[in-house]
Every structure is written in C-alpha cells, then in structure tokens.
C-alpha cells in the first residue's frame, strides 16, 4: 500500500509511514523504490508529531490492531491540518475488524466528519475530514 500512496506524491509532498513494529519498517527501508519515504516507529495512539502538520493521513488495515482506537483517531485528528482528510481501510476478514458503524461512533467523539466510503467484500475505506474550527469572534 505504501508504494501506491508514494506514487500519488507530486514531488513536493512528504510521505511519513508510522508503524509500531520495527520489522514492518525494516521491510520498507529495504525497498529501493521507497527511499524517499520517512519511517517512524511509534504507536498510532501516541504520534510524535506536532498539531496540524499533515494534509492527509491513511490508516491502512491498522486501526483494528491498535488497542486504544479512540485515542488513535484523536491523534489522527490532532496531527491533521484543519480541513485535512483521513482514510481508514479495514479488512472484513481480519479478526480485529472495526466496523463502519463503530468507526462512525469513534469519529463522532473527535473532530472528524464521516465522508464518502467505498467497499467491497474484502474491505471498506472510509474517508473522514477534520472539522474546521469556527472563526474566533
């Protein structure tokens, strides 16, 4: 999946891949076509990034594996810029599968609005948008 996302960059963007397992990151590091990708070993529920620094985020078959899913979504919202978008993909056959209904509940508790969703028998991908803060009066 990382290769597909990296291919979407227009030459100015920066792709940062986060995984809690060093083995997964070592696999990416070994790939020549992903030399420009930044690899960060961290848990999705405690991201080592400042607020609002990303335009896009993608949780690919990962949310189900993170113990504190609410915290992970809150962290995702925190690091996104206002109006930034996140996509969450969940594989249906995974024992840790997070349903779309559950994701909707989790998103309601943070500043993420449910957007378009695509699905097949294998997985769904839900887009979420970070709510824009109301202007200060």
Ligand X SMILES: C[S@@+](CC[C@H](N)C(=O)[O-])C[C@H]1O[C@@H](n2cnc3c(N)ncnc32)[C@H](O)[C@@H]1O
Query: Any contact of residue 60 with ligand X (CB under 6 A)?
Result: yes
**Strands 80-91, 38-41: pairing kind:** unpaired
Query: Any contact of residue 70 with ligand X (CB under 6 A)?
Result: no
CA distance 69 to 55: 21
Name which of 71 and 117 has its Cβ closer to ligand X.
Answer: 71
Among 6, 37, 39, 44, binds ligand X (CB under 6 A): 44
Query: Any contact of residue 1 with ligand X (CB under 6 A)?
Result: yes
Spell out the residues 6+ positions from residue 57 whose beta carbon is closer than 8 angstroms to its own: 76, 79, 80, 84, 85, 86, 87
Query: Any contact of residue 34 with ligand X (CB under 6 A)?
Result: no
Cα–chain-centroid distance for residue 82? 15
CA distance 60 to 81: 20
Where does 61-111 show beta strands of DSSP type E?
80-91
Among 21, 26, 108, 118, binds ligand X (CB under 6 A): 21
Query: Any contact of residue 104 with ligand X (CB under 6 A)?
Result: no
Per CB under 6 A, the segment of 8-16, 29-37, 41-49, 104-112 that binds ligand X is: 41-49
Query: Any contact of residue 125 with ligand X (CB under 6 A)?
Result: no
Residues that bind ligand X (CB under 6 A): 1, 18-21, 24, 43-45, 60-62, 65-66
């Amino acid at each position: 999946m990382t290769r597909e996302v990296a291919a979407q960059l227009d030459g100015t963007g920066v792709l940062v891949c986060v995984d809690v397992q060093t083995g997964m990151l070592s696999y990416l590091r070994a790939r020549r076509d992903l030399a420009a990708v930044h690899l960060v070993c961290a848990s999705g529920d405690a991201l080592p990034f400042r607020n609002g620094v990303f335009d896009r985020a993608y949780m690919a078959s990962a949310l189900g594996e993170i113990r504190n899913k609410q915290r992970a979504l809150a962290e995702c919202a925190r690091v996104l810029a206002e109006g930034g978008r996140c996509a969450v993909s969940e594989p249906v056959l995974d024992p840790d599968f997070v349903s779309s209904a559950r994701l909707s509940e989790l998103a309601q508790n943070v500043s993420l609005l449910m957007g378009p969703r695509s699905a097949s028998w294998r997985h769904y991908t839900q887009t979420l948008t970070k709510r824009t803060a109301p202007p200060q009066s």
